[in-house]
Structure 1
């Protein structure tokens, strides 16, 4: 890796792999937010009936 890029080796390798796999489109900035919210659960969890007295 040339030292004049001014980025970490890890960032260089990540971007290099993305470029190899996706071309120029792989170099776009990506969101670090999770794809889904694990705290929300799912629709199946909120509509399920639980027995009383358990």
Structure 2
């Protein structure tokens, strides 16, 4: 969806600029998916690292 927004936001740009816009859109889409998966996988209240938990083993 974001790629479509970027492409249609600037229809008058050159071809190479559209390629850059699509690449940036894909980068943002990948980042958003990564963040969403991380939020779903990480248990609630787990805001510490594994290394910080070493003293409690």
Q: TM-score range by the shorter chain?
A: under 0.3
Higher helix share: 2
The normalised TM-score by structure 1 is: 0.27
TM-score, reference length from structure 2: 0.27
Larger radius of gyration: 1
Q: Which has the higher contact order (CA 8 A, sep 6+)?
A: 2
